[in-house]
Chains A and B, each alone.
Chain A
């Protein structure tokens, strides 16, 4: 079956929709949204980091770019979620391109530091931008009765979705599935092979004629854009946004930890990482305080980086080699 993967994706999207109609408790969608958002972040990060070897420490910066673009547009134009996400993606993608252009001609470590610097500069700028609330933040009440082609999208009785949480969940889930498809496509394409060559040895790749700068820029742009799309719904999800939430440390650490723990070799790694780590964090946040949560993530990351560099996927591959004799 040639398009097996694509068909599974479609089925999953339908499945997500069914879930929103069937499950009643909003809290599930609340945490489901977070996990799916992380899946997009992890996948996006992995395109540049896992495939290409360039570490992005400032994932929160791209996410927040998406979120604040959405907020600015809500204040300015009062447009719907899908438009916000597209706009967020464009802005964050542009940001990725700019960052890349400034620093990708240097060593990988400088790119990493630059991404960190970028996140903090953005946070400072946003904190001074009163139109979107400045350091104090601002509350968002999502559009009361949004419509699409005349059909009410969100309404307790008559809408496609009963409430905003379900709508956000579905949207984010669709974006997640699309992102994974994109990652898989890249992985198997010339871009992906080029990125891998860069990761192994950038000098060798250059000698072989791989257009390293161009490929890196493409990867950074796509990665950034994805993170922006994931970030745009954040304001509607939290119904409140401030620099502290948008630029939060947990996005930065999870965007790295999830792919590294899941496995950076393929698109499946970030998915596994997000599902496992994300669910674990959400569940444990019901019992233990969130810092302990994050601490565990940090420890697991360090442990995995030391003893299981290939992540969980590597664990599988090793077994395949071991038992297949």
Chain B
């Protein structure tokens, strides 16, 4: 029995830490898809791109991965800015069918993933850092030993800082509120003298910019390889949909829920079932409560 509690506690703790990490991965999508209604399915692959950039900087110049993530953030911001320019001018402005927009992002996903394979190969890559590979053990009583791996702890802390910062930005600053407003009522925004397109563009760029730090956290937590983007697609979308479109705090809560669910399944049933968990939750949410926990109704448009 003690063994079971030990395993359960470990699974819970890791689940919460994992949840923080997942929140960092999903917040970008929460902005671009949740607030701006742009289905950037290439987002997880952009995270992987960020992870590889962190790997490159770390293995070539020994730069700490988190620092590498910060360095690459402006690059991703510009990338997002450019992508939105193309997206808006080609698709949204002309009111093209959503099929083309989706195909566009799918093509992007594909190009990034295959590009990574060509450049780096399909092998798993890691970074070296002093906080990777060790854990902090908390002993409770005789039988219970909760091990907190440093890499997850570091990821959690950084993720928490990043997501809280973004949350604050979106709720406290004028521009941040403009971003949330543009989702609800573009016309009203125009009447207030704000160019909604500019707001959307910068918001989208912000969402993509999170791929820099998010990717760095990714490679700290686990070894990465190019196809990971598609694997994480389920997680990230599940989190955003479960949290509810348009709600950042919903995203954060959903991330922790999914982190815990995956961790428990991995511990008691084997890690290879983990992707099925998040995708399964996603399907269930879509089938039974598409508006998620805190979102507005997402019925047929």
Contact = CB atoms under 8 A, between A and B. Distances in A.
Interface of A: 49, 53, 55, 57, 102-103, 105-110, 112-114, 116-118, 120-121, 124-125, 127-128, 135, 199, 202-203, 249, 253, 256-257, 260, 264, 289, 291-292, 294-295, 297-299, 301-302, 305-306, 309
30 contacts: A57-B102, A105-B299, A106-B286, A106-B300, A109-B39, A110-B286, A110-B298, A113-B241, A116-B234, A117-B233, A117-B282, A118-B279, A120-B231, A124-B272, A124-B276, A127-B272, A135-B272, A199-B97, A203-B301, A289-B118, A292-B118, A294-B110, A295-B114, A295-B115, A295-B118, A297-B110, A298-B107, A298-B110, A301-B106, A302-B107
B227 A106 contact: no
A260 B110 CA distance: 15
Contacts of B301: 107, 202-203
A116 B96 contact: no
Interface string B228-271: 00110110011001000000000000000000000000000000
A109 B98 contact: yes
Contacts of A53: 97-99
A103 B288 CA distance: 10
Contacts of A107: 298-301
Contacts of B282: 113-114, 117
Contact of B227 (A108, A249, A253, A302): A249
A53 B230 CA distance: 23
Interface of B: 39, 41, 86, 90, 96-100, 102-104, 106-108, 110-111, 113-115, 117-118, 227, 230-231, 233-234, 237-238, 241, 272-273, 275-276, 279-280, 282-283, 286-287, 290, 298-301
Interface of A is mostly: helix
Interface of B is mostly: helix
A305 B104 contact: yes
A68 B86 CA distance: 40
Contacts of A57: 41, 102, 106
Contacts of A135: 272
Contacts of B104: 302, 305-306
Contacts of B234: 116-117, 120
B275 A124 contact: yes
Given A103-B287, A110-B298, A256-B106, A124 B273 contact: yes
Nearest to B276: A124
Contact of A49 (B99, B110, B237, B287): B99
A144 B276 CA distance: 38
B84 to A, nearest CB: 14
A109 B97 CA distance: 11
Contacts of A257: 107
Given A107-B301, A128-B272, 4 more contacts: A108-B99, A116-B234, A202-B300, A302-B107
Contact of A109 (B96, B102, B117, B299): B102
A125 B86 contact: no
A125 B270 CA distance: 13
A309 B117 CA distance: 28
B300 A102 contact: no
Contacts of A49: 99
Contacts of A102: 283, 286-287
Nearest to B273: A124
A155 to B, nearest CB: 40
B91 to A, nearest CB: 9
